[in-house]
Structure 1
Amino acid sequence: MNDDQTINLLWGIGALVLVVSALTARRVSFGMLVRSFLGWAAVAAIAWVAVVHRYEIESAFIAATERMGLAEQTTDGETVRIRQAPDGHFYASVTLDGTPLRMMVDSGATITAISAETAANAEIDTDDSRFPVMLTTANGTIAAKRGNVDRVTLGAITTHDLGVVVSPAFGDVNVLGMNFLSRLASWRVEGGTLILVPPPPNPSAI
């Protein structure tokens, strides 16, 4: 056991002792103590499951809202429609190499940008042999690494070998940029809805 693990164990034991002492001082019965412990253990277990399976839960939630007609994103044939969010942006349910996530569609972004966490979860490799890309953002100039996503799926739309930039400076923001939109047959905004039309079926075109 390393030093960090030892410290964490001591903190845990100390916290448990404090809780038990507080309950004892209030003359709480042993049965109540056990029930309280089991209750907190159940809460911790649910939180752990939610974190580990967050992508599967998100996919199930999206599927359920689509069935109820409440989804922000719908597919009509091969055309994808995305309703504008209250903050004025359009958020797409996308999969990158099979990993589902929510991405903001931004025609002002030249290239698709993903966070370092997203790149790790989707197992997207970056090219460390090339100089980083310098990007100008609202928070200043940042350095980002180049990478490629083998397969990007948005509703009925699928494209391959999409270039991306990756940086921890993006935080938890993932942006679908013009290098994706330019591959479509067309895209437009009508009445607060973003409409994405895929190109005709042609393996060499997408």
Structure 2
Amino acid sequence: MVAVVGHCRRWLLAALFCVPTGSWAQALDIQAQGLLKGSAVLSINGTTRLLKVGQTSPEGVTLLAGTSKFARVRYQDQEFELTLSRRISSAFAPAGKAEVRLPSGERGHYWAQGAINGRSVRMMVDTGATSVALSEQNAKALGVRYTDGREGLVSTASGRAKSWYIMLDSVGVGGVVVHQVPAVVIEGNFPEMVLLGNSFLQKVDMDQEQGVLVLRSRL
């Protein structure tokens, strides 16, 4: 194990997932300790496991994808992404719904480490945004094909800017994933961060609990 870990170029303190087994049974803790191409070193309930893509641990955790930046795992028919991000607490509700809890962050905003079309990205929750919004610069970094989208104009702090209206294959935060999400890509580098707008938020259930934003998937 030491030899394998020694070749890992990038160590990540990643997301911690608390997943009840059964209806409301003992929680399962999963934490990424090292990420490599095609494999990942995971701590599962305190036990270190080296999994290659396609392998399943004795606890029932399957590694679906592994890179130096993230690991995607599946447990009880739900998928989660472990990245170098803030801690995310994700759980299964009795009906099988995925749940993500986001504590209030900078200036009272809610930040989430999520994924767009399977690519990891940090997003800010914006209930005032009509749709998911990202800059042309961020779209290129995420490999989003936007130039085929419907062109338009949007108003920004710097004036009017060219935009493209597109459909994203998927947008996810933890195990809460929505498919076919309308989005707008804005020319240039505005907004600086990806805005998680209502084209995603209106397709999930939201609650606020003592400064924590709770997102739940809909079945």
TM score, norm. by length of structure 1: 0.59
User: Structure 2 counterpart of 1:158, which letter?
Assistant: V
**Farther off after superposition, 82-91 or 134-143:** 134-143
Instruction: Identify the match of residue 120 of structure 2 among 97, 100, 103.
Output: 100
SS in 2 for 1:87: helix
Judging changes above 3 Å, is the alpha-carbon distance between structure 1 residues 72 and 119 closer, same or farther for their aligned structure 2 residues? same
C-alpha distance in 2, partners of 1:177/1:189?
A: 17
Q: What is the number of equivalent residue pairs in this alignment?
A: 141
Are 1:166 and 2:181 matched, yes or no?
no
The Cα of 1:136 is off from its aligned counterpart by: 3.1
The Cα of 1:157 is off from its aligned counterpart by: 0.9
Are 1:180 and 2:200 matched, yes or no?
yes
Q: Residue 131 of structure 2 contacts residue 182 of structure 2 at CA under 8 Å; is this kept in 1?
A: yes
User: Structure 2 counterpart of 1:191, which letter?
Assistant: Q
* 1:84 aligned residue: 104
C-alpha distance in 2, partners of 1:198/1:136?
A: 32
C-alpha distance in 2, partners of 1:129/1:95?
A: 20
* 1:34 aligned residue: none
Are 1:149 and 2:136 matched, yes or no?
no
1:146-194 CA distance string (max 9 Å, x none): 122112221111111111111214153210100101111x202221111
The Cα of 1:113 is off from its aligned counterpart by: 0.4
Q: Residue 124 of structure 1 contacts residue 147 of structure 1 at CA under 8 Å; is this kept in 2?
A: no
SS in 1 for 2:192: coil
Q: Residue 149 of structure 2 contacts residue 164 of structure 2 at CA under 8 Å; is this kept in 1?
A: no
The alignment-based identity, stated in percent, is 27
C-alpha distance in 2, partners of 1:86/1:119?
A: 24
C-alpha distance in 2, partners of 1:193/1:87?
A: 14
The Cα of 1:129 is off from its aligned counterpart by: 6.4
* 1:75 aligned residue: 90
* 1:119 aligned residue: 139
Larger radius of gyration: 1
* 2:24 aligned residue: none
Judging changes above 3 Å, is the alpha-carbon distance between structure 1 residues 117 and 129 closer, same or farther for their aligned structure 2 residues? closer
Specify every segment of 5 or more residues in structure 1 that has no aligned partner in the other structure, as ranges.
Answer: 1-52, 201-206
Q: Residue 122 of structure 2 contacts residue 194 of structure 2 at CA under 8 Å; is this kept in 1?
A: yes
SS in 2 for 1:175: strand
Specify every segment of 5 or more residues in structure 2 that has no aligned partner in the other structure, as ranges.
Answer: 1-8, 18-29, 33-84, 93-97
C-alpha distance in 2, partners of 1:129/1:76?
A: 36
Q: Residue 135 of structure 2 contacts residue 185 of structure 2 at CA under 8 Å; is this kept in 1?
A: yes
Instruction: Output the aligned Cα RMSD.
Output: 2.8
For 1:125-140, list aligned pairs within 5 A: 125-128=145-148, 130-132=150-152, 134-140=153-159
Q: Residue 99 of structure 1 contacts residue 121 of structure 1 at CA under 8 Å; is this kept in 2?
A: no
User: Structure 2 counterpart of 1:63, which letter?
Assistant: A
Judging changes above 3 Å, is the alpha-carbon distance between structure 1 residues 129 and 117 closer, same or farther for their aligned structure 2 residues? closer
C-alpha distance in 1, partners of 2:200/2:109?
A: 17
TM score, norm. by length of structure 2: 0.56
* 1:195 aligned residue: 214
* 2:38 aligned residue: none
Q: When you count helix as a share of all residues, which structure comes out higher?
A: 1
* 1:63 aligned residue: 15
